[in-house]
Amino acid sequence: MNQDPLWTIFIGACLINNFVLAYFLGICPFLGVSGKIATASRMGAAVTFVMLVSSVCAFGIQILLTQIGAPYLKLISFIAVIASTVQLVEMFVKKMSPALFRALGIFLPLITTNCAILGLALFQTNKGYGIAQCLVYALGAGAGFTLALVLMAGLRERLELVRVPDVVQGTALTLMVAGILSVIFMGFAGLGG
């Protein structure tokens, strides 16, 4: 069993090993939904929720699979759980806020194929976290994802008003900005030991 203290796990997942900027997980929504701060923060909240639920489920599944001795089913059962959670969130958002549902568009069902979530489930089992550690890890990863998304959205809102050369516009520019953000996040290394 892993003995890392909870606050180290949180800081680690949120800042030092930020899922987007250090592990390259969840790049698609990072590039796709980071146009506006409002949409970005809600997307972050949705992803964090799915992360929390799937993290708990993955913890249960891992115990069950070890019991019946079928570790090769890990990947398939994780992805099935994540897909159903996303379906749940999708129905919830559609009912509660149709405007947000439209704003998120195709990226809402695509949370299923967001590698950040499957990555989280795999990492936590590799690290052998307990249930409390899993929850904090999911919370930290979600917070880190939201932070990266909102930072990026803020930068892109400003970039809208700036004149940039034609060739650089679009994804190339976003990637360059993401690179600089990633350099900045490297500064957090060593925080929390």
Partner 1 sequence: MTTAGSQSDPRTTDEFIKGLWRDNPVFVQVLGMCPVLAVTNTARNALAMGLATMFVLVMSNIVVSSIRNFIPKQVRIATFILVIATFVTIVDYVIQAISLDLHKALGAFISLIVVNCVILGRAEAFASKNKIVPSALDGLGMGLGFTFALLCLGVVRELLGSGAIFGVHVFPDRYQDWVIMILPSGGFFTLGAWLLVFNAIKKRKANAAGTAKEAA
Residues in touch with partner 1 (CB under 8 A) = 21-28, 31, 72, 75-76, 79-80, 83, 110, 112-115, 118-119, 122-123, 126, 166-168, 170-173, 175-176, 178-180, 182-183, 186
Angstrom distance (rounded) from CA 155 to CA 182: 14
DSSP 162: S
Give least dist CB 158 to partner 1, A.
18
For residues 141 and 14, is the Cβ–Cβ distance under 8 A? yes
Summary count for the chain: helices (H), strands (E): 8, 0
Give least dist CB 38 to partner 1, A.
24
Tokens of 83: 């897909």
Give least dist CB 177 to partner 1, A.
9
Q: Which of 102, 132, 137 is nearest to 122 (CA)?
A: 137
3-state SS, residue 170? coil
Nearer to partner 1, 67 or 126 (CB): 126
CB atoms within 10 A of CB 128: 12
Nearer to partner 1, 38 or 191 (CB): 191
Nearer to partner 1, 34 or 114 (CB): 114
Nearer to partner 1, 29 or 140 (CB): 29
Give least dist CB 8 to partner 1, A.
20
